[in-house]
Amino acid sequence: MPLKLVIANKAYSSWSLRPWILLAHFKIPFEEVVIPLDQPDTRQRILAVSPNGKCPSLQDGAISVWESIAIVDYVAEKYPDKPIWPKAKAARALARSLSAEMHAGFQALRNHLPTNFRRPVKKRELTSEVEADVARIEAAWADARKRYGKAGPFLFGRFSAADAMFAPVVNRFHVYDVPVKKATRDYMEAMMGLPAWKAWIKDAEAEPWRIERYDNI
């Protein structure tokens, strides 16, 4: 029985992208179920698969896993042959730390630049708090690339869970035309060039649902 990943709208759900792009990139079979946001039955449907009332949620038979970072770890344990986390101990420790920092932090960035994978590229002025978040993310990416990125264009060379966790930030930086360094832009281009990324964007653009509070920013 394949895994079942329950996600929200691909146009707006940053949390859903993280495990989705991981599964898609590593070619792990899974069934996708989309629960559109802002519908009369949205909360009821999500609560049926996720006790925190949020997407994504991963179903593996009778096992249910929610929160993106927990799903990533579950998949890594289930498929130990896949290089989901870096193999080297020090690199893996940094990848886990950065992923946890992303999972818990950067609230100013999240609030000011909400996820919208359909948004035309258009600059939005940044607050000082958002600029601080951007600076920290750029520094974190540069440090990972310098220390462990020699084998490829991603944070730890080859695509890993850390890249999946930061994938929504790549979209935010891109669609809000955030000023970034060339090395940051090169990394973003590598992420946006992934077949799994392109498939997500294509699906997001085809969705019929619209949420004005995100589309009008």
Give the chain's domains with CATH numbers.
3-82 (3.40.30.10), 89-198 (1.20.1050.10)
CB atoms within 10 A of CB 100: 12
Q: Strand ranges (DSSP E) for 53-128? A: 57-60, 63-66
Residue type, 15: W
pLDDT of residue 211: 86
Rg over alpha carbons for the chain, rounded to the nearest Å, is: 17
pLDDT of residue 13: 93
Q: In what order do the strands lie in the sheet with 3-7?
A: 30-34, 3-7, 57-60, 63-66
pLDDT of residue 212: 85
pLDDT per 10-residue tile (average), the chain, 217 residues: 94 96 98 93 91 93 96 98 97 98 96 95 97 98 97 98 98 98 98 98 94 85
CB atoms within 10 A of CB 214: 17
pLDDT of residue 177: 98
- Per DSSP, the residues of 117-132 read TTPPP---PPPHHHHH
∠ CA 66-72-75, rounded to 5°? 100
